[in-house]
Chain A
Amino acid sequence: MINKILIILILFLLAGCAAQIPKEAEDAFYMNDFGKAAKLSRPCADKLNRNFALNNAKLGQFYFTGGGYDLAFLPFLNAGKVMERTVTGSDNAFWSSVSREDFKEFKGEPFERSMCHWYRGIIHYRRGDYEKALAAFRRGIDADKDTMSLNKDDTSDFSAGYVMAARCNYLLGEPDTADTYIQKSKFVNEIEEKIDDTDEEEVVVNDENNDNYENKRNGIDSDNTIFIVEWGDSPLKQRENNIKDIWSCSAFAEYIPRSSKIEYAKIFVDGNEKIQINRCTSTFCQLSCNTEKTAETIQKIKIGAKWTVRVCAFAGAFTGVLIATKGNGAAATAAGIGAALVAGAAVRTEADVRVWDLLPEDIGVGSLDIEPGFHNIAVCFYSSSNAELPEWRQVYYYYPIKKDDNLIYCRTTFDHFGKYKFETEEVSSSIVDSQISSRHYLEIDPVDEESDIRIIPLAPAFWKENEVDNLTIF
């Protein structure tokens, strides 16, 4: 009997030990060391466990952001297949229904599925395979169809997907379908003004009901270069009110936004400002969906079921031990209570907080017609007060622009002032210095009087359990 209980407990523990991508790999990603990130996460992503889709999605993103587009394709395909599956063999449905939600196979939220298809679409697009790219973008749109922001039954608000689907349709010679996508996208409403040298090419679209699609295309149909700019970090997910106590009812998860200061980007070609790129899709906004209330109801029912199972386990264990010991004495009662507590604790209600947290906060899409040849392209980022955020500037020197079609992808990965500002001083310094020396920043004078960032320990820990607070002053 004891052996059986032990086996069950060991199986229970094993079910909770499916590895995820190590934190070192994610840190390497934020420091633009994509080779290290991929190397560290590859063994983990190869394992068939309940985190297979999440691990492969992250591995794909390491390759993708590092420019290894062909290497990124297979992990994204693997992740997408699992996310789209309706029935799975390794789904720990029983354990996830009586215990932690994350015992089941990770399949992602709609926005995570959309992004998986989105990256696969970009890879196909870069290869020049517009049909497959279109299929991937459409799947990305379909994966997000329950969003509520547009308040239409069959409409997704994954507007970046619409724009790229439209672009593929234009390139495939299907302008009518493309125009429908353009109409659906919020792209034209958000990018109202296209900055250019000549007034003739300036396009201003304000009228949503204007049926003249040519005005709404905004160059997506005719320009030879598409810019996809991603910035910020997607929301984190944590148990509601960050409850970690196993006895607490923390079945709900909440998303914590990680808003960056970036509001929009501008593209410079050979030193000249050409186009402004605004937010086209926001991963945080993507989280809102029509099925939210339904999901909440289901979750409440599941919590009720879990508490019922928990009480039954509690009572069953107590009774079982009493029967086994024939109810003799206080020791038997104590053993019964102990067994009941163990059984009750085993039935947990923890929410699933796994999330593809390496995604960007915002995606912007823009287009531009650039003369074929080598050009110096810069992507500069701006705050809501229209001040440039130079720490994010990305430059691409001697970028080869082809005559027909180009796709320039840009992602700000390292968040100097957000992600690492609460780290210890030494870690922060080394990370920032390493980043600065390796990525698009020139001289750093550590004793420069005009230094604008300081970490000041505000007050030493008065009570031992309190950490020293750090405050970053810009």
Chain B
Amino acid sequence: MKYIKLFLLIIISFLGFACTTVVERGTFEPYPITPDSAPKYCFDGSPPIPDAKPFIYGGCDLSMPRDDDEELIKAYKEFGIVWENHGCRGGCNGLCENGPHVAFGGHCLTPPTPGTKEYDDIIMGIGVTNWLYNKK
């Protein structure tokens, strides 16, 4: 009886190998160590893009409004957007209660922290949708 069980175990194991479903995962293609395109969006502290229009007007400038730019401040505040010293304490990288960053559909315009995924993705335009402009 013992040997029959052992024999069955071997047979079933063998069948198990034969019937295996191989899950293909794909190769990993790491990001190149230098970018393959110029910055697509800009914000405070990132490389500037000349003549960029503010994000809320359909442009690619995600900088925080200057204190004297009342029109832009009003436009952002209409949508409940906050930024450093204007409803947000800063240094949050979109992790505050108003987050994520406006570029990713949130309500925080505080610039992302360098060296983070958010910083890279916004600059390269990965996952960025202008929901503010579309809503207008």
Contacts and interface: CB of A to CB of B under 8 A. Distances in A.
Interface of A: 32, 34-35, 38, 62-63, 66-71, 268, 270-271, 374, 376, 378, 380, 390-391, 393, 395-400, 408-410, 416, 425, 429, 432, 436, 438-448, 450-460, 462
Given A396-B120, A398-B47, 19 more contacts: A34-B95, A66-B95, A67-B93, A67-B113, A67-B115, A67-B118, A70-B92, A71-B95, A391-B28, A391-B30, A395-B31, A399-B114, A439-B117, A442-B31, A444-B26, A451-B27, A454-B23, A457-B20, A459-B13
Interface in B116-136: 116-120, 123-124, 127
A460 B9 CA distance: 10
- Tell which of A32, A67, A397, A457 has the most Cβ of chain B within 10 Å: A397
Contact of B31 (A32, A393, A409, A438): A393
Contacts of A440: 30-31, 117, 120
A303 B48 CA distance: 65
B85 interface: no
Contacts of B24: 446-448, 451, 454
A149 to B, nearest CB: 31
23 contacts: A35-B94, A35-B99, A66-B116, A67-B118, A68-B94, A68-B96, A71-B95, A268-B33, A376-B35, A395-B120, A396-B114, A398-B123, A399-B115, A439-B117, A440-B31, A440-B117, A444-B29, A445-B27, A446-B24, A447-B24, A451-B24, A454-B25, A462-B12
A436 B28 contact: yes
Nearest to B29: A442
Contacts of B99: 35
Contacts of B115: 67, 396, 399, 408-410
Contacts of A409: 115
The 4 closest A-B pairs by CB, nearest first: A70-B91, A67-B113, A67-B93, A67-B116
Contacts of A270: 34
A443 B128 CA distance: 18
Contacts of B27: 444-445, 448, 450-452
Interface residues of B, number: 47
B16 interface: yes
Contacts of B46: 374, 398, 400
Contact of B34 (A376, A438, A445, A457): A376
Interface in B86-106: 89-96, 99-100
Contact of A70 (B20, B89, B100, B114): B89
B20 A63 contact: no
B54 interface: no
Nearest to B32: A395
- Tell which of B25, B113, B114, B116 has the most Cβ of chain A within 10 Å: B25
A448 B13 contact: no
